[in-house]
Structure 1
Amino acid sequence: MNILLINPKYPETFWSFKHVLRFISKKAAFPPLGLLTVAAILPGGWQKKLVDLNVEPLTDATLDWADLVFVGAMLVQRESAQEVIDRAKAAGKRVVAGGPAFTAAPELFPGVDHLVLNEGEITLPMFVRDFLAGTPQPRYTSDEKPDIAKTPAPLWQLIKMKNYATMSVQFSRGCPFNCEFCDIIVMNGRVPRTKSPTQMLGELETLRKAGWRGSVFIVDDNFIGNKDKVKTFLRELIVWQKASKFPFTFFTEASLNLAQDEELMRLMSAANFHKVFLGIETPSLDSLKECSKLQNTTLDLAKAVNAIQSNGMQVMAGFIVGFDSDTERIFETQMQFIQRIGVVTAMVGMLAALPGTRLWHRLQAEDRLLGETSGENTDGSLNFIPKMGVDTLVKGYKDLVNSLYAPKEYYARVNTFLKHYRPTAFSRVTWNETVALFRSFWTIGLRSHARLLYWKLILKTLFTKFKAFPTAVEMAICGLHFEKCARRMREE
Structure 2
Amino acid sequence: MKKNILMIYPEYPATYWSLKHTLKIVNKKTLMPPLGLLTVAAMLPLDYEIKLVDINVSKLKKEDILHADLIFVSAMIVQKESFNDVVALCNALNKPVLAGGPYPSASFESITGVDYFIIGEAENLITQFIHDYENGNPSRIYRSEIKPDIKNTPVPRYDLINVKDYGSILIQSSRGCPYNCEFCDISVLFGSKPRQKTIDQFIMELNAIYDAGFSGLINIVDDNFIGNKKLCLQLLMAIRQWQISKSFPFTFLASTSIDLAAETEILDLMAECAFTQIFIGLETPDENTLISISKKQNVKYNILESVKIIQSKGLEVLAGFIIGFDTDTEDIFNRQIKFIQESGIAVAMVGLMLVLPGTRLYKRLEKENRILHETCGCNTHMLDLNFIPSMEKEIIIQGYLKVLGTIYSPEKYFERCLTLLSRTPDRAFKKRGIRRNDVQSFIRSFFIQGFSGYGYLYIRFLIKSLMINPGNFPLAVILSVNGHHFFKITREMLKMTKLESSSVDYSDSEIVEKYELQSDNQAI
* Matching residue of 1:443: 448
Q: How does 1:223-242 map to 2 (within 5 A)?
A: 223-242=225-244
* Matching residue of 2:503: none
Give the secondary structure class of the aligned counterpart of 1:15: coil
Q: How does 1:398-413 map to 2 (within 5 A)?
A: 398-413=401-416
* Matching residue of 1:179: 181
Question: Does the Cα contact within 8 Å between 2:271 and 2:427 map onto a contact in 1?
Answer: yes
Q: How does 1:52-451 map to 2 (within 5 A)?
A: 52-379=54-381, 380-425=383-428, 426-446=431-451, 448-451=452-455
Letter of the 2:384 counterpart: S
The separation in 2 between residues aligned to 1:467 and 1:419, in whole angstroms, is: 12
- Answering whether residue 465 of structure 2 is matched by residue 461 of structure 1, we say yes
Question: Does the Cα contact within 8 Å between 1:311 and 1:423 map onto a contact in 2?
Answer: no
Letter of the 1:382 counterpart: L
The separation in 1 between residues aligned to 2:360 and 2:482, in whole angstroms, is: 34
Measured after TM superposition, the shift of residue 416 of structure 1 is 1.0
Letter of the 1:409 counterpart: K
Deviations along 1:300-324, one digit per CA (max 9) or x if unpaired, are 0000000001011000000111111
The separation in 1 between residues aligned to 2:465 and 2:286, in whole angstroms, is: 34
Deviations along 1:274-307, one digit per CA (max 9) or x if unpaired, are 1010001111001101110000001100000000
Measured after TM superposition, the shift of residue 463 of structure 1 is 4.2
The separation in 2 between residues aligned to 1:143 and 1:483, in whole angstroms, is: 44
Match of 1:487 among 469, 491, 499: 491
The separation in 1 between residues aligned to 2:435 and 2:167, in whole angstroms, is: 12
Q: Which runs of 4+ in 1 moved over 4 A?
A: none
Measured after TM superposition, the shift of residue 429 of structure 1 is 2.6
Question: Does the Cα contact within 8 Å between 1:344 and 1:413 map onto a contact in 2?
Answer: yes
Measured after TM superposition, the shift of residue 464 of structure 1 is 3.7
The separation in 2 between residues aligned to 1:207 and 1:35, in whole angstroms, is: 16
The separation in 1 between residues aligned to 2:406 and 2:145, in whole angstroms, is: 44
Measured after TM superposition, the shift of residue 224 of structure 1 is 0.7
Question: Does the Cα contact within 8 Å between 2:422 and 2:468 map onto a contact in 1?
Answer: no
Q: How does 1:470-481 map to 2 (within 5 A)?
A: 470-481=474-485
The separation in 1 between residues aligned to 2:468 and 2:126, in whole angstroms, is: 54
Letter of the 1:95 counterpart: V
Deviates more, 1:104-113 or 1:339-348: 104-113
Letter of the 1:298 counterpart: K
Measured after TM superposition, the shift of residue 427 of structure 1 is 2.1
Q: How many residues align?
A: 491
The separation in 1 between residues aligned to 2:45 and 2:194, in whole angstroms, is: 28
Question: Does the Cα contact within 8 Å between 1:118 and 1:143 map onto a contact in 2?
Answer: no
Percent identical: 44
Measured after TM superposition, the shift of residue 226 of structure 1 is 0.7
Letter of the 1:213 counterpart: S
Gaps (5+ residues) in structure 2?
A: 498-524
The separation in 1 between residues aligned to 2:319 and 2:175, in whole angstroms, is: 20
The separation in 2 between residues aligned to 1:13 and 1:201, in whole angstroms, is: 32
The separation in 1 between residues aligned to 2:217 and 2:482, in whole angstroms, is: 16
Question: Does the Cα contact within 8 Å between 1:102 and 1:109 map onto a contact in 2?
Answer: yes
Letter of the 1:457 counterpart: F
Deviations along 1:209-258, one digit per CA (max 9) or x if unpaired, are 22211111101111111111111111111111111111111111111110
Letter of the 2:390 counterpart: K
Deviations along 1:346-370, one digit per CA (max 9) or x if unpaired, are 0001111001000011111111111
Q: TM-score, normalised by structure 2?
A: 0.92
Gaps (5+ residues) in structure 1?
A: none
The separation in 2 between residues aligned to 1:428 and 1:48, in whole angstroms, is: 37
The separation in 1 between residues aligned to 2:109 and 2:484, in whole angstroms, is: 38
Question: Does the Cα contact within 8 Å between 1:214 and 1:427 map onto a contact in 2?
Answer: no
Measured after TM superposition, the shift of residue 397 of structure 1 is 0.5
Change (3 A) 1:50 1:180: same
Measured after TM superposition, the shift of residue 433 of structure 1 is 2.2
* Matching residue of 2:513: none
The separation in 2 between residues aligned to 1:53 and 1:27, in whole angstroms, is: 10
**What do you get for the CA RMSD once the two structures are aligned?**
1.0
The separation in 2 between residues aligned to 1:339 and 1:108, in whole angstroms, is: 42
The separation in 2 between residues aligned to 1:218 and 1:412, in whole angstroms, is: 29
The separation in 1 between residues aligned to 2:128 and 2:17, in whole angstroms, is: 34
